[in-house]
Amino acid sequence: MDSELYRFVVKDQKGKEHSLKEYEGKVLLIVNTATGCGFTPQYKALEELYRKYGPKGFVILDFPCNQFAGQAPGNDEEIHSFCTLKYDVSFPQFHKIEVNGKNADPLFVYLKRQRRGFLSGRIKWNFTKFLVSREGKVVARFAPSTKPEKLEKKIVSLLGEEE
């Protein structure tokens, strides 16, 4: 597998760099999140999917983003603390980033190029979700309003599992 996706390096919420090559062969759901958003309760369903399918090769990569109405205030440690205390989040969380504009994180520039949104490539709000196959191909993009549980069939299919 030589997917372009695995060439990206991202920082976790403690500032440590991680190559996405660490996730090669896994089904990924990459999400830009916020702790003070109307969609924040999606953390609960995301965590449920992660616990159910994580052992089968599914990983959620969480990238907090404060670009939309300042809905991800606080530093990385505060965001992580909120997510673990309120939603018992155990999937990988990364450094707060921007997803649009001149300071957009290169990973999200790539994701948007692979799967454009409705009418444009821009991300419209927090909790936009990108589903990635085991081969590193961005196979789908979901709107913030798409509930995580609605992705379960696609995740199961990519994992090669029977429901």
23 phi and psi angles, rounded to 5 deg? -105, 10
Alpha helix locations (H) across the chain?
Answer: 42-53, 76-87, 106-114, 152-159
Burial class (CB in 10 A: 0-12, 13-18, 19+), 2: exposed
The DSSP bridge pattern shows strands 129-132 and 27-33 to be antiparallel
Which residues touch 119 (CB under 8 Å, ≥6 apart)? Answer: none
Answer yes or no: 37 catalytic: yes
In a 13 Å sphere around the CA of 117, the CA atoms on its Cβ side amount to 18
Per the listing, tokens 């965001």 go with 79
Alpha helix locations (H) across 57-151?
Answer: 76-87, 106-114
Residue of 20, 27, 37, 65 marked catalytic: 37
Instruction: Provide the annotated active-site residues.
Output: 37
